[in-house]
Structure 1
Amino acid sequence: METKKVVGYVRVSSPNQAKTGESLKTQRQQITAFAKSKGWELLNIYADEGLSGAKTEHRTAFNQMITDAKAGQFDVIVFTKLSRFARNARTYLTYRDELKDHKVLLASIKENPDPTSKMGNMIAGILAMFAEWELEVIREQMAENKLGRWSKHECFVGQPPYAYKWDKNENKLVLIPHEAEMYQRIVTMYLDQGFSFRDIAENLNSQGLTAKRAKWSNVAVSYILKNPAYYGNLVVNTRVYKKQKKSSILKRSKELKPANEHIEFPCPALISKTRWDQIQARIEFNKCKSKVKKYSADYWLRDVLKCARCGAPLKPARSRIRNDGTFVRYYLCYWRRAAPADLRAAGKTQKCTLPYISAKQLEAKIWSDIIVSMTMNPKRKLGALFSAKGRKSKVRALEMKAANASKELKKKERARERLFQLLEADTFDPDELNIKLRDNKHEIVRLEMLIKETQDELKELEEATKNEKEIEQFLNTNKEAFRQIVSEISRLSPDDKKIYIESRLDGPILVDYEEPGPDSAGGPTLDYTIKPNIRILQRFIQEGKISQFPVLDKNGYI
């Protein structure tokens, strides 16, 4: 009788298995002894160390063994138990049938089914199903254990947000300093300098800067600007993971888990809730921007005007083209020019009464206000702030703001205590309670940050008051430089003016119209707020659109 040529296969998936008697050395010894007891010739032992048995594509030695088996180099594959060869019934049965076609049998030492009989093959199949069941149980236990540790903040599952890393020694999220600085830079570029997601990514990539290990993309920029983790609100375990159609790999879906399964993770804030809300408002604003038509490119106030009468946006419009090719530009309320069918669909009975507004007149009026805000006459403009009356008024307003926020904070804290009383109600809904608690916490965080910002503003005002004479002297000395800055800004292109005005506005411009009368010349009336933003000048300086002035530092700050 011809001696069978056999090979062995050994595998461990973790160091822990080696400690509990499943080491490669132990398996080799068992295979060698088994082959000897059968009188077989052991040619080789294939080994995979530190690899899971759930998938075969990553098991190099296993795949080489299958290739050699199909080449007819041996008759039997020996392993210590079925789970060493395959972790699920489908894999075991697939390879068993494939190898059977090449007259290669499988032999398991522990289960020891007879591979040459139908009964033995049936038993091996059943045992393979048990091995698969065991794997699923192990996976579930590991997932439950990991989830428990995650919910207790003893570990962090997955990749922390950009600019954070998990400190295993302290069991907490900590900042990565250079990435935190990059995040602040991205916020400034988007919120203060008017860059789009794509512009930011291209700007950073052109300087050789990377996001983690890859290049920046508009998707990466969008993701981190929308992530609430950066004001200290990191919520994880929110999405359901589902298997893909053609794969067993789990991927995150859009389906939300119940609120009581969400995990709130403490992390250091990089920006205030107020500033994060401003980012989200800018994102929504950019989503609603109108498409630029050939004739509307010069309308640099498009997208920021709203009708004071009906709340609709004002859109670019123009008169008929004259014989000389010119035309009159207007801004017109959306519901003034809407078709009757659109009015009916919106439940409106008539068009808006706001008349056509001259674009030239409106743009001149707003640009004049912008110029004044750029300290065309710095001493007069800023004098109100440094006058005793103006200073006291500002201090009173800030103190009242802080006091109102403190009262509201106490209300929210009392409301949080009352929410816990829902636990005793017969109709207690854990999901509803978790949602209310989370919303309440966000409000508390917002109010705490508002109080801190107001207190900081008060301190800045006190500091400015101490340096009043120095500031006035600085403004008087640099009058000409300021005028030159204003002159260059006035020569910006319509596209750049649009970027500039959007970076300076705190909300939309409400437009109404006053009819001429005995005491009034009539014309458009405006309601809007201009905020200080010197960082937009930094962008234009870097792009070479305005000069570097002596009163500005290398970053464009006064």
Structure 2
Amino acid sequence: MIVRHIRRKDYDRKKRVSAYCRVSTDKASQEESFETQIAAYERLIRSNPEWEYAGIYSDEGKSATSARHRAGFQRMIADALEGKIDIILVKSISRFSRNIVDCQTYVEKLREQGVSVRFERENIDSLNPACSMMFSLLSAIAQDESRSISENVKWGIARRHERGEYKISNNQVLGYDADEQGKPVPNGDAWIVQMVFRLYTEGKGVREVTEMVAAAGGHSLRSSRPLSCQAVRYILKNEIYVGDRILQKRAPVNYLTKKPDLQAEYKTYFLQDDHEPLIDRDTWEKAQGILRRRELAKEAGVERIRANAHFLYGKLFCARCGAPYRRRTFKERDAKGGESYKAWCCKERSKGKAGNGCLNPILREVALLEAIARKLGMESFDEQTFMRTVEKVLVQKNGEITIELISNAA
């Protein structure tokens, strides 16, 4: 019996070989290493007569704990799964991925397509069954290494925050540049921030502020485009503009998911009068009061508070049903000319579709302001003191009022 061996059509075809290179930061030292990696792998592949050069895939300034955010890596995987690559060269497992799940998932996908991933430092070929256990162990070590680095970085940041140390970089905060120590110093865009606060404290809404700043030539942080409503709100809430700094405002980022780790413990540090402000403290406090008032009103279902709205809107609420109180004009019943007066009533007082028939009492405005003044220990009602110190006024079912003060009010 004669056995004839028939060779596969691609038996003599050269292996299509590519390489993957990555560095995690944009620092000059790593940039040099990055370029060296690319050049070295290109020479290595082109010098092998059995290999066909299939390109170099790379990611610069990217972490290896998340493959999803690495465009070069994703492009390489897609090309390999489409049959464009036979062998992928990588310096080490940690360059490929520091996430054990990602690492094993992508290697398994490539293995199913017959694509070999060769890790130079560990001397492992993913198609070699004998290397499977060693690969799993080393990929777990790479992930733990990343966790350790992340913890060390967090520890260093926390120690600097304890000492009140921080740095900003240029083009990071609108209206400020960084000095040699990384502290904020006003720049030529400071007027944009000052205009935002001025217009807002004059009673303009966020959208109106946005339109007026754009008309005056104001722009966003990193482009010539106008500020968005979201950017204006961010400016109004950013304490850096009054000369303060809050360090570690949010939970630290999880080293694998790159999202805030809500389970992590962390401390927030407040630095008052830390640097030169762009606005004075009175303007800042007034803006925060307006923000709180409008946010509280929105949560309670108050219609948009207009620039000329009465100062009690968004502050006065029904203790019975939680609805906001509205200002209304009534007429004296026994007055010949129908003399009118201002009073406040629960929004839900009317029956039917317009309300739930709430029976909380109607309060005359003059009597209401006198009652608030007595509660606050004023000889006579003062609007500025009221706005600065009062969070909410609740009207009880017997017509009495209770007052909730702003927690950080002087």
Normalising by structure 2, we get a TM-score of: 0.62
Paired letter, 2:205: S
Structure 2, unmatched stretches of 5+, are 1-6, 317-323, 351-356, 373-378, 385-410
Paired letter, 1:125: S
Aligned length: 337
Report 1:79-158 matches (<5 A): 79-149=90-160, 151=163, 153=165, 155-156=167-168
Q: Which of the two has greater helix per residue? A: 1
Q: Distance in 2 between matches of 1:123 and 1:292?
A: 64
Normalising by structure 1, we get a TM-score of: 0.48
**CA distance 1:123–1:26, change in 2 (3 Å):** farther
Report 1:351-430 matches (<5 A): none
Report 1:60-459 matches (<5 A): 60-149=71-160, 151=163, 153=165, 155-156=167-168, 161-167=173-179, 169-177=180-188, 179-191=189-201, 193-212=202-221, 213=223, 214-241=225-252, 248-251=257-260, 259=267, 261-262=268-269, 264=271, 266-284=274-292, 303=312, 315-319=327-331, 329-332=340-343
Preserved contact between residue 81 and residue 110 of structure 1 (Cα < 8 Å): yes
Per-residue CA distance 1:271-304 (angstroms, 9 max, x = gap): 33334333334445555599689xxx9x986848
Q: Distance in 1 between matches of 2:167 and 2:39?
A: 34
Per-residue CA distance 1:345-397 (angstroms, 9 max, x = gap): xxxxxx79x8797xxxx9xxxxxxxxxxxxxxxxxxxxxxxxxxxxxxxxxxx
Q: Distance in 1 between matches of 2:184 and 2:232?
A: 21
**CA distance 1:236–1:184, change in 2 (3 Å):** same
Per-residue CA distance 1:296-331 (angstroms, 9 max, x = gap): x9x986848x99xxxx9894232499xxxx965322
Preserved contact between residue 239 and residue 256 of structure 1 (Cα < 8 Å): no
Per-residue CA distance 1:241-291 (angstroms, 9 max, x = gap): 4669xx9232487x99655x4253722123333343333344455555996
**CA distance 1:200–1:102, change in 2 (3 Å):** same
Deviation at 1:231, TM superposition (A): 2.8
Q: Distance in 2 between matches of 1:115 and 1:40?
A: 20
Q: Distance in 2 between matches of 1:56 and 1:114?
A: 20
Structure 1, unmatched stretches of 5+, are 344-350, 363-507, 513-525, 532-558
User: Hey, what does 2:19 align to over in structure 1?
Assistant: 9
Q: Distance in 2 between matches of 1:257 and 1:164?
A: 31
Preserved contact between residue 46 and residue 61 of structure 1 (Cα < 8 Å): no
**CA distance 1:74–1:176, change in 2 (3 Å):** closer
Q: Distance in 1 between matches of 2:210 and 2:153?
A: 39
Q: Distance in 2 between matches of 1:87 and 1:121?
A: 17
Q: Distance in 2 between matches of 1:50 and 1:89?
A: 21
**CA distance 1:229–1:330, change in 2 (3 Å):** same
Deviation at 1:511, TM superposition (A): 8.8
Task: Please report the RMSD computed on the Cα atoms of aligned residues, expressed in angstroms.
Answer: 5.0
* Higher Rg: 1
SS at match of 1:78: strand
Q: Distance in 1 between matches of 2:76 and 2:31?
A: 23
**CA distance 1:45–1:79, change in 2 (3 Å):** farther
Per-residue CA distance 1:172-212 (angstroms, 9 max, x = gap): 211123x3222332333233x33222322222234443232
Q: Distance in 2 between matches of 1:195 and 1:237?
A: 31
Per-residue CA distance 1:85-113 (angstroms, 9 max, x = gap): 33322222222222222222222232223
**CA distance 1:92–1:205, change in 2 (3 Å):** same
Per-residue CA distance 1:114-138 (angstroms, 9 max, x = gap): 5444331222122122222222223
Paired letter, 1:153: E
User: Hey, what does 1:422 align to over in structure 2?
Assistant: none
Preserved contact between residue 9 and residue 77 of structure 1 (Cα < 8 Å): yes
SS at match of 2:251: strand
**CA distance 1:89–1:314, change in 2 (3 Å):** closer
Report 1:461-500 matches (<5 A): none
SS at match of 1:174: strand
SS at match of 1:215: coil
**CA distance 1:142–1:327, change in 2 (3 Å):** same
Residue 56 of structure 2, aligned match among 23, 40, 46: 46
User: Hey, what does 1:546 align to over in structure 2?
Assistant: none
**CA distance 1:81–1:283, change in 2 (3 Å):** closer
SS at match of 2:117: strand
Deviation at 1:7, TM superposition (A): 1.0
Task: Compare 90-99 and 107-116 and name the one that shifted more.
Answer: 107-116
Identity %, equivalent residues? 19
Q: Distance in 1 between matches of 2:140 and 2:264?
A: 33
Deviation at 1:528, TM superposition (A): 5.6
Preserved contact between residue 87 and residue 135 of structure 1 (Cα < 8 Å): yes
Preserved contact between residue 59 and residue 71 of structure 2 (Cα < 8 Å): no
Preserved contact between residue 21 and residue 90 of structure 2 (Cα < 8 Å): no
Q: Distance in 2 between matches of 1:88 and 1:300?
A: 55
Q: Distance in 2 between matches of 1:113 and 1:183?
A: 56
Paired letter, 1:203: M
User: Hey, what does 2:403 align to over in structure 1?
Assistant: none
Q: Distance in 2 between matches of 1:256 and 1:133?
A: 18
Per-residue CA distance 1:43-97 (angstroms, 9 max, x = gap): 3452415243334455455444434433434533233322233332222222222
